[in-house]
Amino acid sequence: MKTYRKHLLAALSALTLGAAALGAHAQTTDQAAPQARHGMQHQKLTPEQRAQFRAQRIAKLHDELKITPAQENAWNAFVTSMQPPARQQHDRAAWANLTAPERMAKMIDRQKQRTAALEQRQASLNTFYSVLSADQKKTFDEKAARFGHRGHGGWQRRGHSAQG
């Protein structure tokens, strides 16, 4: 009888530990799954699909702002200036042959180029923003709060920097 109890206790302990481990694994998987799916979704999009989604977001913002015909030229200039830059490809072999100071100098030059592009976008944003009414500014501020602080997509939602 003692052997039976020992086996029963061992089995119950193993079952309990297994259930706890399975529960912990399920929680970790559930929390990570949306992020993993989100990242995979962006990797599978073609450039045409990304352009289509960008156009839909722009059209939606245009409608939400209720852009008037008098504001249309400023809107078009703003949208054009906010288009994401073309992805630059760099030659990894050439970078590998650079010395550490040379690589750092190239990185600084590229950062200066990015800063100049952001300054141009800011000028376009300021021009566009100045033609908006108070209600439009409020709407734009609410919508733009979800965009623009990450990556090179301007006010467009981007998950990462477009470094080449």
d(CA 78, CA 136): 15
Biggest CA-to-CA distance, the chain:
92
Q: What is the pLDDT of residue 142?
A: 87
d(CA 158, CA 151): 6
Q: Which of 59, 65, 63 is nearest to 79 (CA)?
A: 59
* Planar angle of CA 8, 11, 13, nearest 5 degrees: 105
> Full-prediction pTM beyond 0.75?
no
Mean pLDDT rounded to a whole number for the chain: 74
d(CA 54, CA 47): 10
Task: Give 43's pLDDT tier (boundaries 50, 70, 90).
Answer: low
> Is 124's pLDDT higher than 70?
yes
Task: Give 94's pLDDT tier (boundaries 50, 70, 90).
Answer: confident
Residue 3: HSE in the Cβ half-sphere, 13 Å Cα cutoff: 0
**Per-residue pLDDT tens digits for 18-36:** 555 555 555 554 454 454 4
* Planar angle of CA 31, 34, 37, nearest 5 degrees: 140
Q: What is the pLDDT of residue 2?
A: 64
**Per-residue pLDDT tens digits for 138-153:** 999 888 766 544 444 4
The token pair at 160 is 């990462």
Task: Give 13's pLDDT tier (boundaries 50, 70, 90).
Answer: low
d(CA 52, CA 57): 9
